A and B are shown apart, each in its own frame.
Chain A
Amino acid sequence: MRTMNETGVERSVGRQGELLLEVRDLRTYFHTFKGVVRAVDGVSFDVRRGEVLAVVGESGGGKSVTGFSVIRLIDDPGRIEGGQILFCGRDLMTLSESEMNRLRGSEIAMIFQDPMTSLNPVYTVGQQLEECFRLHTRMGRAERRRACVEQLRAVGIPNPEARLNNYPHQFSGGMRQRVVIAIALAADPKLIIADEPTTALDVTIQAQILRLMVRLVREQGRSLILVTHDLAVVAESADRVNVMYCGKIVESGDTRAIIDRSAHPYTDGLIRSIPSLEVDRRRLDTIPGIVPNMFELPEGCYFAPRCPRARDLCRVREPEPVEIAPGHAVSCHFPLEKSSSQREEVR
């Protein structure tokens, strides 16, 4: 059975897969000269073992900051203002910086968008990979070397023995991202946070990397938080989705439910504005206007100024998350309830 607690957060009681990460009412604010940006504002979600959770939204939605907040990688002027981050039952917010550092890389690993800036250009790939084993395992020198070769082979880098001695600039973009994945997975983390891992890559390379990441996550029973702007990538690879808009989760649920039966007008608008490779459409539906200025967020629902369904209530009161189907929550006063036939024309 599922119940909602007092903050409207869904609590999983009888669902498959044990909880690995529970984020409750996370708030990350940036204090700038122009004012306070509430980049992540009261976000709650769970990640279960062995699942791929996508966090999706447009620029400025707070999806990357959510990912960074989970491993507390928020720099000034940003600050995590409140909330709980329970990882395997431990609240990461109460850990010291050195305890946090032991956790980063070994228990929770991160993969960034740009593989060139996340690798150190003056060390060989082998040195960077070996460092991981040195810091997080008790392996001896020869053993580490063998593990490095194995690790590069596992992510599909040809001729791994020789490649260990190469520098990052000697790799292509796709191969670099494979190296980053190899490093992220080296210490066998339970949770991987990937921030737009395939955005900088060509489509055939993106397919290779997505396939590799999802396989490595599922085979080893790890969990993945996939932060992306691309709903099609989400549809191809994630089990569940959080849709974010202006620092809040506006809709969450199983991937197919979100894409086939989206209830929030923002999710629906996003889906409709994506051109399809399979279906011809005369015109694309668009979401009118632009994302509001984070310094001057509107009253009530942040999406109301762009929403075709907005009524007076939306401009006054902020909607709370409501579970409209098991596991499918939406923060909207007037969620969509369209028949499946109407939706066919879009797909």
Chain B
Amino acid sequence: MALVEVRDLVQRFELDRGLLGGLRFEGGRLTRRLRVVSAVDGVSFHIERGEIFSLVGESGCGKSTVARTVIKLLEPKGGSVFFDGIDITRHTRRQMLPLRRRVQMIFQDPYASLNPRLSVMETLTEPMIFHRVAATPEEAEARAMALLERVGIRPEQAGRYPHQFSGGQRQRIGIARALAVEPELIVADEPVSALDVSIQAQILNLLMDLREEFGFSCLFIAHDLSVVRHISDRVAIMYLGRIAEMGDKRQIFSSPRHPYTEALFSAVPQLSGGRILNAPPLEGEVPSAIDPPSGCRFRTRCPRALPLCGESLPAAREVEPGHTVFCHRVE
């Protein structure tokens, strides 16, 4: 059984709140129309135990919203979420508490996500004691020391505060904190995008080593395709609130089938050069999620769009085992 199972997940945000929200003049008449951001619209996937599953896409595609909804930081507006076989879609905050230990998060900005008033040692021992992973403060401290050493923070630095560390070190502390309660799932939201490239490589290597060692699953959110290719087992490419294509890393990166995936790949700069200035460009920009295109949401920019694409949602087509494409043009 998969550790996480997500079915037809829907997330919406209402822009006009309150009684008078959404009031506007149209053609001389006062009308009330509520604008809704359709951030996630029918997303399904699963994460196996010990697997790194990545959601990738450009800003506004809904990848972070999916992650936050899956771990119930946002309430799902539709669909269902199963964690270890338990349907948590309607779980209350109180019901979620025992699960919080089993799911931890690593954030993009390691400074904003560490409490500036807690020393590194306190940052790590607090969740251990709260979730009763460690019986005594002494045990918690011993475990914290071992973890810090494992992520590359020297023992004598344990009493220091977040502002005394560099960005890369703070991210190491963020990772150690996530691991402190021995989670089964780690949700990492752009964990390396704020770091310089040489530090980014250190953190990526560390995450991959720790995964081997601790065996956690990971929902990895990123916009950098090269990073995603490096770290993931399976990948889903998202566009405007929906999954365009999903499969094994190898399937996605060596034989992309969705026109958006292809366009996205050809836009990634590479050291070998000669791609961007020569490749046919993907024209236009991502449309607004307030009033998304009907049918396939990519059709307004798709070089291969048909009239059919505006009429109906493309269904999932399995082009090879485990490799799913949502496109009318793919057989």
- Residues of chain A whose beta carbon lies under 8 Å from any beta carbon of chain B: 58-59, 172, 174-175, 202-208, 210-211, 214, 229-233, 235-237, 255-256, 259, 269-278, 280-281, 283-287, 290-291, 347
Contact = CB atoms under 8 A, between A and B. Distances in A.
Contact of B273 (A58, A236, A269): A236
Contacts of A281: 230
Given A204-B58, A210-B277, 19 more contacts: A58-B198, A172-B285, A175-B285, A205-B58, A207-B276, A210-B276, A214-B277, A230-B197, A232-B226, A232-B271, A236-B270, A237-B277, A256-B273, A259-B273, A273-B197, A274-B226, A275-B229, A276-B270, A347-B272
A236 B275 CA distance: 7
B113 interface: no
Interface stretch (B1-9, B134-142, B200-208): B200-208
14 contacts: A202-B286, A203-B225, A203-B267, A204-B58, A210-B277, A229-B197, A236-B270, A256-B273, A275-B227, A276-B226, A277-B268, A284-B205, A286-B201, A290-B166
Contact of B281 (A208, A235, A237, A276): A208
Contacts of B270: 232, 235-236, 276-278
A202 B59 contact: yes
Contacts of A230: 197, 269
B205 A275 contact: no
A229 B281 contact: no
B196 A347 contact: no
B271 A259 contact: yes
Contacts of A273: 197-198, 200-201
Interface of B: 58-59, 166, 168-169, 196-202, 204-205, 208, 223, 225-227, 229-230, 253, 263-277, 279, 281-283, 285-286
A255 B272 CA distance: 10
Nearest to A58: B196
Nearest to B269: A232
Given A237-B276, A273-B197, A204 B229 contact: no
A255 B273 contact: yes
Contacts of B204: 275, 284
A275 B230 contact: yes
Given A230-B269, A235-B271, A236-B277, A207 B282 contact: yes
Given A203-B58, A286-B201, A236 B267 contact: no
Contacts of A232: 226, 268-271
Nearest to A274: B197
B271 A347 contact: yes
Contact of A286 (B198, B230, B265, B271): B198
Contacts of B198: 58, 269-270, 273, 286-287
B282 to A, nearest CB: 5
A58 B59 CA distance: 24
B276 to A, nearest CB: 4
Contacts of A271: 271
A204 B271 contact: no
A173 to B, nearest CB: 8
Contact of B58 (A202, A214, A255, A286): A202
A280 B208 CA distance: 14
A58 B276 contact: no
Contacts of A211: 276-277, 281
A283 B202 CA distance: 10
Contacts of A255: 273
A290 B201 contact: no
Nearest to A283: B205
B265 A277 contact: yes
B275 to A, nearest CB: 6
Contacts of B268: 203, 232, 277
Nearest to B250: A280
A284 B230 contact: yes
B282 A174 contact: no
A59 B264 CA distance: 27
B201 A231 contact: no
Contacts of A272: 201
Contacts of A276: 226, 229-230, 270-271
A37 B36 CA distance: 50
Nearest to B57: A202
A272 B197 CA distance: 10
A59 B197 CA distance: 10
A94 B263 CA distance: 49
B225 A277 contact: yes
Contact of A229 (B166, B196, B283): B196
Nearest to A205: B285
A320 to B, nearest CB: 25
Closest 3 CB pairs of A and B: A273-B201, A275-B230, A232-B269
Contacts of B197: 58, 229-231, 270, 273-274
Contacts of B263: 204
A291 B226 CA distance: 24
